[in-house]
Amino acid sequence: RHRFWETQPVGQFKDLGDASLPEGPIEQPITLSEVRPDPYTLPALYEWSTCDVDNDATAAEVYTLLANNYVEDDDNMFRFNYSKEFLRWTLRPPGYFKAWHIGVRVKANKKLVAFITGVPARIRAGNEVVRMAEVNFLCVHKKLRSKRLAPVLIKEVTRRVHREDMWQAAYTAGVVLPTPIATCQYWHRSLNPKKLIDVGFSRLGARMTMSRTIRLYKLPPLPATPGFRNMEFRDVPAVTALLRDYLSRFVVAPDLDEKDVEHWLLPREDVVDSFLVESPDSHEITDFCSFYTLPSLILNNATYSNLKAAYSFYNVATKTPLLQLMNDALIVAKQKDYDVFNALDVMENESFLKDLKFGPGDGMLHYYLYNYRLKHALKPSELGLVLL
């Protein structure tokens, strides 16, 4: 049933529930000199092209490929619209490899028609911290679908990851593949309900009018927590300590150092927002919340073409109740004119989703590891990892 995935070192459906299989790598690394030195063969009309997203023209090509061909919802009403600045951020974390930003072009005219990326990360699974690639942005132009190009892209990124002596990867997808380590649900909190309803993102509830709906989702103008402010560079050590301690509770989570926190969590306009609570008396950093900006194109609406969405990223509450902290996150997102605030049911998110008027979405997100087996699939609440 999965001609490609059945050949790969991933958990297979036939092995689900077989507790005799050991946790850890599925196959052992080969020596670096045995890793294939040459790229996989593409169909004759195409060529490999490493994409430098620091280059403006290249970033624009990647942006356009994704804006026209990347992930859509089940009803093809919305398509992710990652910004160039977001792509630069997510593709250039500490220690990134240029060669892991892989494009496929048409030889004749150099048009970019497919893409896949990896970035390095340390991910803890149980008690083991493993160097992995986070693989994302797998995309094949709509006109080239179902020609088995995706497996070639995946094999090529795997080869380039192996050449850096890494043998595991983490990735997410909206589709079911062999086999998820966790299956999570998207939840959505309306900030601009009128627009969301107008564009078909949400519907007027039963026995609801537009004005009742607007009142239902109304938020205070300012955050409620004393000492709530933007994260700054000087907060990196305190935030790292808070996050490391918090993430140690989950079965699978990133192992973040100060350099990672600086990259992934220092605010960048229209890319990532981070806030913390600094205790007004002790000046201690007690709580932290963050979201990233991922707009979607609205595919068929006469009035609106873009949906401005915030996605919950990492949140830690040690003193402020998590419910209140996340309500403050909603308030600042509303201040910044987001239309919707999205969250997965990972970590402790379930504890605030219903109370803060999030509703379940129609999309699921499956998490996967490549060449690493877990004994049991995880509940979303055991997962401490958010991929972009």
Q: Does 172 bind ligand JJ1 (CB under 6 A)?
A: yes
Q: Closest CB to ligand MYA among 171 and 291?
A: 171
Give yes or no for a contact between 213 and 203, defined as CB atoms under 8 angstroms apart: no
Beta pairing, strands 340-344 & 309-312: parallel
Residues 174 to 193 in contact with ligand JJ1, rule: CB under 6 A: 174, 186, 188, 190
Which value, to the nearest 10 degrees, does the dihedral of the CA atoms of residues 10, 11, 14, 16 take?
180
The CB-of-194 to ligand JJ1 minimum distance in angstroms stands at 12
Q: Which residues bind ligand MYA (CB under 6 A)?
A: 2-5, 69-71, 133, 135-140, 145-151, 154, 157-158, 161, 166-169, 171, 173, 175, 177, 370-371
Return d(Cα 189, Cα 340) in angstroms, integer: 6
Give the position of tokens 């061909």.
69
The CB-of-155 to ligand MYA minimum distance in angstroms stands at 8
Given 87, 91, 191, 388, the catalytic residue: 388
Beta pairing, strands 101-106 & 112-125: antiparallel
The CB-of-93 to ligand MYA minimum distance in angstroms stands at 16
Q: Does 202 bind ligand JJ1 (CB under 6 A)?
A: yes
For residue 196, indicate whether it is catalytic.
no
Closest to 11 in 3D by CA, of 372, 379, 380, 382? 372
Give yes or no for a contact between 172 and 365, defined as CB atoms under 8 angstroms apart: yes
Among 103, 295, 361, 384, binds ligand JJ1 (CB under 6 A): 361
The CB-of-177 to ligand MYA minimum distance in angstroms stands at 5
Neighbours of 80 (CB within 10 A): 16
Q: Closest CB to ligand JJ1 among 47 and 96?
A: 96
Residue 340 CA neighbour count, 13 Å, CB half: 27
Q: Closest CB to ligand MYA among 168 and 185?
A: 168
The CB-of-162 to ligand MYA minimum distance in angstroms stands at 6
Q: Closest CB to ligand MYA among 336 and 366?
A: 366
Q: Does 71 bind ligand JJ1 (CB under 6 A)?
A: yes
Q: Closest CB to ligand JJ1 among 106 and 364?
A: 364
Which value, to the nearest 10 degrees, does the dihedral of the CA atoms of residues 365, 324, 238, 259 take?
20
Q: Does 83 bind ligand JJ1 (CB under 6 A)?
A: no
Return d(Cα 290, Cα 367) in angstroms, integer: 21
Total number of residues that touch ligand JJ1 (CB under 6 A): 20
| Helices marked H in the chain | 56-69, 84-91, 149-162, 193-198, 210-216, 236-247, 258-265, 322-335, 350-353
The CB-of-366 to ligand MYA minimum distance in angstroms stands at 9
Q: Closest CB to ligand JJ1 among 25 and 363?
A: 363
**Chain-centroid distance, C-alpha 88:** 14
Q: Residue 213 binds which one of ligand JJ1, ligand MYA, none, with CB within 5 to 8 A depending on kind?
A: none
Terminal C-alpha separation, the chain: 29
Return d(Cα 187, Cα 344) in angstroms, integer: 6
Q: Residue 167 binds which one of ligand JJ1, ligand MYA, none, with CB within 5 to 8 A depending on kind?
A: ligand MYA
Q: Which residues bind ligand JJ1 (CB under 6 A)?
A: 71, 73-75, 77, 136, 172-174, 186, 188, 190, 201-202, 359, 361-363, 365, 387
Catalytic residues: 388
